[in-house]
Chain A
């Protein structure tokens, strides 16, 4: 049985090799990007990148000819903007978008041809073999394929013991199958951009990329602009952690909120506490996620003020602390 990828599929999954094939067959060349009618494509691509960088997921679907071009132009734009956090966020938003379509499509799959197509997508892109379970309602993946991915998820429900397992297979529904490859999808798009090699950038693209860079750089680089020096209170807490000594709860809250506020991802923050004598990865992760506002109350906690820290005996002020009321201001005013 030959597997046909239809135009509708390409619109949703423009990262498939078949999309490139389609472009090649239609005789598309780089110089075409200079044509005035491309402006609409370039603008759409630019707005998707901006939205992606802001953490939004676009799920509108245009004609496939347009979608394929928008995707291609987006990749080129992101490449020439060449700011890593923009690329990361954009890749993630594309992955989320595809994830949504994949889930919908998998859910309504009864036609064996279509099923075969999805099996092919998963195998080609993620070397993941999926099969429809005997009862026709669930999908099955090999235990080892499952473990390789699920072990990087933190939710308890993804531990294999909470899955239906039989004879070497883990049984999953459509949402779960797609969730399993979500990160790989983002990496795939990220790598595609990273490896892209554009001989000569068309002027229209270069101009748009310059605009976007100017617009997006301050948004993502505000945090990336690394705090070259930590304030004394934070330094002290880090040193205590480094010596694997105990740190009071209030100091842990200060350290975690501060590190989160300067843009450290949850994983890295959890890592910082690894030395603590009573370290329990699960609990620490929960607490850090709670402070980050991704768990529990969904309120993001801010860094305590210097006043507060002084009353808690966590302040170790030096001359450089003059005139600031929150550790977050440390080092910012002098520039």
Chain B
């Protein structure tokens, strides 16, 4: 980010941390968390520690980091190097990112920044070639649309269902946030998950993502030496968890052993096996496995700003997820007028206002100007 852009963003972010400090949520055991700042200029500082809310807020207003992170882990000595911190446990967290969902709308709002000359090309169905230098390499910048958000919401709701129905986590222990750009973050307040190590979390991720389901676990076993199978439903029945999800999709219940046998006879066991596997992946939630599995990570702090957009990582009531509009509710920067130079024609909506700009320069409210600067689609002029 150039100096001028930095100055504009810093001003808007500082104002936010000053005016909206109540948005920033402190973790439990604050003194035992590791904090990290990403700097507007570049680079990252980790291994920071704060004793109180006051200290955190003073740091934010003074430093105005571009992004603020806090460990989900609890350490005895949060400021020491990683292998001396003495890990004491970590909260369970999940990340759903709209860009991992392969949504069909994405090309229609993806801008491309040329890797060699930095020229920005607007969304286009055609195969990319820089309009200025014809290079084919580019960085993709997306302005998520409401369909993107709906896609993430659908995953989030599915995850909530798994957490409550299967894992028995209390609804009140689930904190859901808009990530500040294009997805949702979950923080789970359930101490029994804190001690779990990485392999245990990875098993949990497999469960939630629908990876590794065996046909045997719904009672279908291969007959030795052939591609046939025999069916004997498990002792515990097919009424809960993954067994139920798959039974529902196969339209079977505990009385359908014969029906299922016949069905497998038609296609063979291997085909059935892969059918079950893809059903499970389909029914699973698309979460980022790294985020949940890594127990030494720093994770975006609730209520802080995301420098990919200038939007807030904003709490979302899980009962109101359908009506939650992040482009309205997470857009909390001010609206003083800022002049920008646009690198491409753009269209987007924020705070209930639709912007469709094809001129090269424009005067925009701060929240919109910062949004475009953060996306790399405009420069402060």
Residues of A at the B interface (CB closer than 8 Å) are: 133, 135, 137-138, 142-144, 147-148, 150-152, 156-157, 159-169, 171, 173
Tally of A-B Cβ pairs under 8 angstroms: 88
Q: List 11 A-B contacts (CB under 8 A).
A: A135-B236, A147-B201, A156-B212, A160-B203, A160-B207, A161-B217, A163-B241, A165-B207, A166-B166, A167-B165, A168-B168
- Once the chains bind, are A169 and B168 in contact (CB under 8 Å)? yes
- What's the nearest-Cβ distance from chain A to residue B322, in Å? 25
**Which of B206, B211, B213, B236 has the most CB atoms of chain A within a 10 A radius of its CB?**
B236
B192 beta carbon closer than 8 Å to chain A: yes
A147 to B206, CA, bound (A): 12
Whether A151 and B217, one on each chain, are in contact in the complex, defined by CB atoms closer than 8 angstroms, is no
Q: A152-B199, A165-B167 are in contact. List 19 more A-B contacts (CB 8 A).
A: A135-B236, A137-B236, A138-B235, A143-B168, A150-B200, A151-B202, A151-B203, A159-B203, A160-B203, A160-B207, A161-B210, A164-B236, A165-B207, A165-B240, A166-B165, A167-B166, A167-B168, A168-B166, A169-B168
A184 CA / B237 CA spacing, docked (Å): 30
Q: Which chain A residues lie closer than 8 Å to B207 at the CB level? A: 159-161, 165
- Given the complex of chains A and B, what is the CA–CA distance between A133 and B165 in angstroms? 17
Docked complex Cα distance between A173 and B234 (Å): 11
Chain A min CB distance to B174 (Å): 13
Q: What's the nearest-Cβ distance from chain B to residue A211, in Å?
A: 42
Q: Give complex CA distance A147, B199 in Å.
A: 9
Q: Out of A147, A161, A166, which one reaches B240, CB within 8 Å?
A: A166
- Which residues in A have their C-beta under 8 angstroms from that of B56? none
For B243, what are the chain A residues with a Cβ–Cβ distance below 8 Å?
Answer: 164
State A159–B207 Cα separation when bound (angstroms).
8
Within 8 A of A (CB), among B228-268: 234-237, 240-243
Return chain A residues, CB-CB under 8 Å to B242.
161-162, 165
Complex Cα distance, B195 from A181, in Å, reads 18
Partner of B235, one of A137, A150, A165: A137
* Chain B window 163-185, contacts with chain A (Cβ cutoff 8 Å), 1 for yes, 0 for no: 00111110000000000000000
Rounded to whole angstroms, the CA-CA distance of A165 and B193 in the bound complex is 16
Residues of B within 8 A of A160 (CB): 203-204, 206-207
In the bound complex, residues from chain B placing their C-beta under 8 Å from that of A143 are 167-168
Q: Nearest chain A CB to B182's CB is how many angstroms away? A: 28
B202 in contact with A161 (CB, 8 Å): no
Contact of B213 among A148, A150, A161, A167 (CB under 8 A): A161
B214 engages A148 (CB within 8 Å): no
Q: How many B residues are at the interface, by size bracket?
A: 20 to 34
Distance to closest chain A CB from B67 (angstroms): 31
Q: Are B212 and A161 in contact (CB under 8 A)?
A: yes
A164 touches B214 (CB 8 A): no
Contact, CB under 8 Å: A159 / B212: yes
CB distance from B137 to the nearest CB of A (A): 25
B200 to A162, Cβ gap below 8 A? no
Shortest Cβ distance from A263 into chain B, in angstroms? 25
Residues of B contacting A166 in the complex (Cβ-Cβ under 8 angstroms): 165-166, 168, 240-241
Cβ distance A137 to chain B, nearest Cβ, rounded Å: 6
Most chain-A Cβ atoms within 10 A of its Cβ — which of B167, B196, B199, B201?
B167
Contacts of A163 in B (CB 8 A): 217, 241
A157-B216, A159-B212 given; A147·B236 CB < 8 A? no
Establish whether residues B216 and A151, one from each chain, have CB atoms under 8 Å apart when the complex forms: no
Interchain nearest-CB distance for A10 vs B (Å): 31
Instruction: Determine if A147 and B200 form an interchain contact, defined as CB atoms under 8 angstroms apart.
Output: yes
- The 3 A-B pairs of least Cβ separation, nearest first, read A168-B168, A166-B240, A162-B217
A142 to B167, CA, bound (A): 9
Does B63 touch A at the CB level, under 8 Å? no
Q: Are B195 and A148 in contact (CB under 8 A)?
A: yes
A161 partner residues in chain B, CB cutoff 8 A: 206-207, 210-213, 217, 242, 280
Most buried by B among A135, A156, A161: A161
* Max chain B C-beta neighbours (<10 A), residue from A143, A147, A171: A147
Binary interface encoding of chain B residues 52-85 relative to chain A, with 1 for a CB under 8 A from any of its CBs, else 0: 0000000000000000000000000000000000
Q: Could you say which residues of chain B place their CB within 8 Å of the CB of A135?
A: 236
Q: Which residue of B lies closest to A143 (CB)?
A: B167
B197 close to A (CB within 8 Å):
yes
User: Quick one: given A137-B235, A148-B195, are A157 and B167 in contact (CB under 8 Å)?
Assistant: no
Task: Give CA–CA (A156, B166) in the complex, Å.
Answer: 20
